[in-house]
Structure 1
Amino acid sequence: MIFRFLLALWLAKIAMVMSKLTGKGRGSSLPGMLALRICPDILKHYSSQTGRGAIMITGTNGKTTTSNMLAGALEHAGYKVINNREGANLLTGIVTSFIKISSFTGKVSCDYAVLEVDEAAFPVVIKWIQPRMVTITNFFRDQLDRYGELDTTISKVVGALKKLSADTQLVLNSDDPLVAKIAAETGYQTTYYGIRPAAEISGRASYSREAKFCPFCSEALTYAVYIYSQLGDYKCPNCGFTRPVPDIEAASVRHRQAKTVGAVIRSGSSEWRLELPVQGLYNLYNALAAFTASIKLGLKPEVVIASLNRYLPVTGRMETFKYKNKKVILALVKNPTGFNQALDGLLVGDEEQDLLIAINDNDADGRDVSWLWDVDFEILLERQERFKRFICTGQRAEDMAVRLKYAGVSVAQISIEKDYNLAIQAALSGECQVISMLATYTAVWPVEKILSGMSERVKFSEDHGMSSVS
């Protein structure tokens, strides 16, 4: 048994090195895949080596950002952390994360394992690693061909949660009824986070909502305030299910005046000022989740706030580049809700811009691209004078072009270029000083690689613009 483990570990480490030397892939999943074929129970060897336990983050959007924010706060406080930082959140990626910091004898030295876990992989991962805390961000439709209906995904997560020990702690988004209900279904100690509902942050009612009915009695939910999708101040008029009062809440939110987001974070009578160098209410939710989990782990609020205020998105999830005198922003999009939030971010500011959209339909993206018709591209027409060109690329470039045409974008503004290199060159050669690029999961990495070879990566900017919602 030990021989099999060591063989899996050594071969995985060799694969990791070869991946870096050849430049093929990121080495975030392949080593774990190889190790699991040789030693399927390899995580068993690591499960007891996290001194203070494992924290898992799951949900549809925001897992990567929340996980990295939490890991960053813990490291800022002086702890050693294992973290699947690049977003490889299936079993293979999690195994790779442990192998990466493991010695050649299989020893790891860390205080916490902060693991982003795919919703579908969550029941599998917890068979090997029992988390002391689970943070759930939200639930939206995402890759129906891989996950199935949303109710199926949620039921699998809840079923897995019920198998954990009774002292498991939950950190839940109180503004999402699909998440908030899990406290009653599991009975675990729960800490809620949320954004104080206010008219000035209310989102567009046209955004697709995943939860129109009460999860307990099926009566239609009523809302005092929508924030986006089904997130907001909800209540069931029949059974009384309502938005739980958050233990930690963001108030006085500022998110449309600049390409940053700020808020006052309140817990009881205490409050702290948060100024994230990224844009969007979705990132405020991510920061709230990370802040709440950090406080429950015993970190000082001031330490966490300081860490969050200097947060930088992970490579490939949001990048800012400088090409000559132009700014290029690259962001990941993967489902209707996330895409809607990214488009909403494009409307901030007054710069004219060109927009490149790269859509793939590989397994990791989801084979079914009909979800593009649930994205509210029509909102771009509210500021149509700002968008000069729409360049569609990737395996499903034609589908994207058709969707834009039906959204009302002039055909004269739309071009199709399947080749990434040519598409990016076309985007960079325009007259606009700002180029926004939105890409699905398997498209974002080749686009990022090409951009990094043609332009200068901006490590930090007070004007980050969009950030990925993953």
Structure 2
Amino acid sequence: MGLRLSIAIMAGKVTAIVSRIMGWKGSSLPGLVARKIYPRVLEELGKQPRLGVVIVTGTNGKTTTNNMLACMVSGSGYKILLNSEGANLITGVTAGFIKAASIKGKTNCDYALLEVDEASFPRVVNEVMPKVVIVTNFFRDQLDRYGELDTTISFVQKSLNGLMGNKKVTDQGVQLVLNADDPLVAQFQRKTGWPAVYYGLSGSGRVFSAGSYSREAKFCPFCGEALIYAYYHYSQLGLYNCPGCSYRRPDPDVEVSHLQSLPDGTDCLVRYSGGSTMLHIPTGGFYNVYNALAAFTAGQLLKLDPAQAAAALRQFSPAIGRMERFSYRGKPVMLNLVKNPTGFNESLSAVLSVPGQKDLFIAINDNDADGRDISWLWDVDFEILEDNHQSFGSFICSGQRAEEMAVRLKYAGVPGEKIFVAGDLGQAISRVLEGQGSFVYLLSTYTALWPVQKILLNQAEKGELDAHRMSSVS
């Protein structure tokens, strides 16, 4: 077994080198090759982290939450292993371990921090025993791949239920970190039996009296009655209770209040067991408050010093396509991933919150990783652009489904003379960069993200900007 493991690791590392030379992303291929040679490679490497494995799953925020937690854990002096580039299928998780392993099959880390795709969660936890599982939220995402939302939730729930029968897990226990504001997530403690700590936002944050354009959870997951909300933060996240049974928003163990948006991010007060601390989140956007809060809560389970974790978070830098910042001839340029209605709505909200004239680029692909069915675009609240189109100089639609994106904008009420279709990414990006606006925003689905980023690196300068930072949704 030792020789076969070593060969698998060596093959994975060589594949990674070849991928970089060829200019490929290559974040999953090394894992795929290694697993072909030795199917138990992840199982062998996954049991080696000295202090355990933390898994982040859910629809939005996995990459950002995992990387924020990595900042806090490494900043507290621990050695970590993580799949930092969003390769969250089982092959990408395997590739993360391959990268950190020696040829002899040894890893030297205290914690493995893994973001895991919801559909891959059952396979990963079958091979890697988690100490902590963070669940961020659940929204409709790639219906042709996941099916209905209930199916996605069942992937995670059934896997957690299955861990109850695994002696290796029950000996050490699994702790859940759950979003108290999402009724689809908060149910997991009761439905799985694992102990949980909850995080959430107080009513002093951004609140609405009515649900947003795309609200997922309308009914109680226990008795089926319609949930009653005192207020919403966005989508189905808010203060809820069920009139038909005892289900209600749990009181958070870690809670954020007193949010203040700043040019370089967000300041907030975090209350936790034993005290409170000010938290500076070095990236803007309401959604990132949840990401940071999930990471901070997990850090408390890992016994991180709160002040040290807060200080480490200040050094956080976003992953590729998550509020990635560029500058073109002094003009701020932002690149962000969009993949589902809720995330797209939050991105549009962030764009609209920036004063001044803007140019917007949207690249929609329909490859397997994006989801073949693009009907989800009709669930995005593009209608909000009709009353705000004056602040946009142009809307550039690109990617494999550029024409469909342009049609969606026209139906939303965006003036046709402001909509331009350019299927070629290079031409489209050049056009939006040369726009008359003071800011440029580029929104892209998965498979267009890396090509767009590569073109931007050739045309614009990468780096920090003083401009408003937009919200990450992944």
- CA distance in 1 between partners of 2:80 and 2:212 (Å): 41
Shift of 1:36: 1.1
For residues 323 and 334 of structure 1, do their structure 2 counterparts lie closer, same or farther at Cα, with a shift above 3 Å needed? same
The 4+ residue runs of structure 1 with deviation greater than 4 A are none
- CA distance in 2 between partners of 1:113 and 1:66 (Å): 14
| Partner deviation per Cα, 1:4-55 (whole Å, 9 max, x = no partner) | 32222111111111111221x2221011111111111111221221000100
Identify the residue that residue 251 of structure 1 maps to in structure 2: 257
- CA distance in 2 between partners of 1:225 and 1:382 (Å): 25
| Partner deviation per Cα, 1:185-217 (whole Å, 9 max, x = no partner) | 111111000000247533863321110000001
What RMSD in Å do the two structures reach over aligned CA positions?
A: 1.4
Give yes or no for the alignment of 1:96 onto 2:95.
yes
- CA distance in 1 between partners of 2:147 and 2:313 (Å): 34
Shift of 1:3: 3.2
- CA distance in 1 between partners of 2:281 and 2:46 (Å): 34
Identify the residue that residue 52 of structure 2 maps to in structure 1: 53
SS of residue in 2 equivalent to 1:201: coil
Shift of 1:378: 1.4
Q: Which moved more, 1:435-444 or 1:193-202?
A: 193-202
- 1:210 equivalent among 216, 221, 234: 216
SS of residue in 2 equivalent to 1:328: strand
Identify the residue that residue 21 of structure 1 maps to in structure 2: 21
Q: 2:286, 2:471 within 8 Å by CA — same for their partners in 1?
A: no
For residues 203 and 357 of structure 1, do their structure 2 counterparts lie closer, same or farther at Cα, with a shift above 3 Å needed? farther
- 1:171 equivalent among 174, 177, 185: 177
- CA distance in 2 between partners of 1:31 and 1:317 (Å): 24
Identify the residue that residue 468 of structure 1 maps to in structure 2: 472
- CA distance in 2 between partners of 1:230 and 1:38 (Å): 44
Q: 2:285, 2:472 within 8 Å by CA — same for their partners in 1?
A: no
Shift of 1:223: 0.4
SS of residue in 2 equivalent to 1:126: helix
- 1:187 equivalent among 181, 193, 197: 193
Identify the residue that residue 239 of structure 1 maps to in structure 2: 245
- CA distance in 2 between partners of 1:82 and 1:101 (Å): 7
- CA distance in 2 between partners of 1:113 and 1:448 (Å): 28
Identify the residue that residue 290 of structure 1 maps to in structure 2: 295
Give yes or no for the alignment of 1:139 onto 2:113.
no
SS of residue in 2 equivalent to 1:263: strand
Give yes or no for the alignment of 1:224 onto 2:230.
yes
Identify the residue that residue 9 of structure 1 maps to in structure 2: 9
SS of residue in 1 equivalent to 2:46: coil
Q: 1:277, 1:464 within 8 Å by CA — same for their partners in 2?
A: no
Q: Which moved more, 1:380-389 or 1:89-98?
A: 380-389
- CA distance in 2 between partners of 1:349 and 1:134 (Å): 35
| Partner deviation per Cα, 1:386-433 (whole Å, 9 max, x = no partner) | 111000000011111011001100010001000000000111111112
Q: Provide the identity percentage.
A: 52
Identify the residue that residue 197 of structure 1 maps to in structure 2: 203
- CA distance in 2 between partners of 1:396 and 1:314 (Å): 25
| Partner deviation per Cα, 1:132-164 (whole Å, 9 max, x = no partner) | 110000000010111111101111211100122
- CA distance in 1 between partners of 2:43 and 2:250 (Å): 37
- CA distance in 2 between partners of 1:360 and 1:442 (Å): 7
Letter in 2 for 1:392: C
Identify the residue that residue 125 of structure 1 maps to in structure 2: 124
Superposition map of 1:293-304 within 5 A = 293-304=298-309
Give yes or no for the alignment of 1:405 onto 2:410.
yes
- CA distance in 2 between partners of 1:320 and 1:204 (Å): 33
Letter in 2 for 1:463: A
Q: 1:258, 1:349 within 8 Å by CA — same for their partners in 2?
A: no
Identify the residue that residue 456 of structure 1 maps to in structure 2: 461
| Partner deviation per Cα, 1:111-151 (whole Å, 9 max, x = no partner) | 00000000000000011110011000000001011111110
- CA distance in 1 between partners of 2:26 and 2:356 (Å): 38
- CA distance in 2 between partners of 1:130 and 1:269 (Å): 30
- CA distance in 1 between partners of 2:455 and 2:319 (Å): 17
Identify the residue that residue 319 of structure 1 maps to in structure 2: 324
Q: 2:205, 2:257 within 8 Å by CA — same for their partners in 1?
A: no
- 1:336 equivalent among 338, 341, 358: 341
Structure 2: unaligned runs, 5 residues or longer: 164-168
Give yes or no for the alignment of 1:346 onto 2:351.
yes
Shift of 1:301: 0.2
Shift of 1:102: 1.1
Superposition map of 1:258-297 within 5 A = 258=263, 260-268=265-273, 270-297=275-302
Identify the residue that residue 166 of structure 2 maps to in structure 1: none
SS of residue in 2 equivalent to 1:341: helix
| Partner deviation per Cα, 1:152-184 (whole Å, 9 max, x = no partner) | 111121110012234210000000000000000
- CA distance in 1 between partners of 2:270 and 2:385 (Å): 32
Q: 2:263, 2:466 within 8 Å by CA — same for their partners in 1?
A: no
- CA distance in 2 between partners of 1:67 and 1:313 (Å): 11
Q: 1:277, 1:463 within 8 Å by CA — same for their partners in 2?
A: no
Shift of 1:276: 1.4
Q: 2:365, 2:448 within 8 Å by CA — same for their partners in 1?
A: yes
| Partner deviation per Cα, 1:321-354 (whole Å, 9 max, x = no partner) | 1111211100000000000000000111312000
Q: 2:2, 2:105 within 8 Å by CA — same for their partners in 1?
A: no
TM-score by length of structure 1 reads 0.97
| Partner deviation per Cα, 1:262-288 (whole Å, 9 max, x = no partner) | 211112462211121212221000000
Shift of 1:104: 1.3
Letter in 2 for 1:156: F
- CA distance in 2 between partners of 1:379 and 1:313 (Å): 27
For residues 423 and 204 of structure 1, do their structure 2 counterparts lie closer, same or farther at Cα, with a shift above 3 Å needed? farther
Letter in 2 for 1:47: G
For residues 204 and 434 of structure 1, do their structure 2 counterparts lie closer, same or farther at Cα, with a shift above 3 Å needed? farther
Q: Which moved more, 1:62-71 or 1:271-280?
A: 271-280
- CA distance in 1 between partners of 2:263 and 2:41 (Å): 47
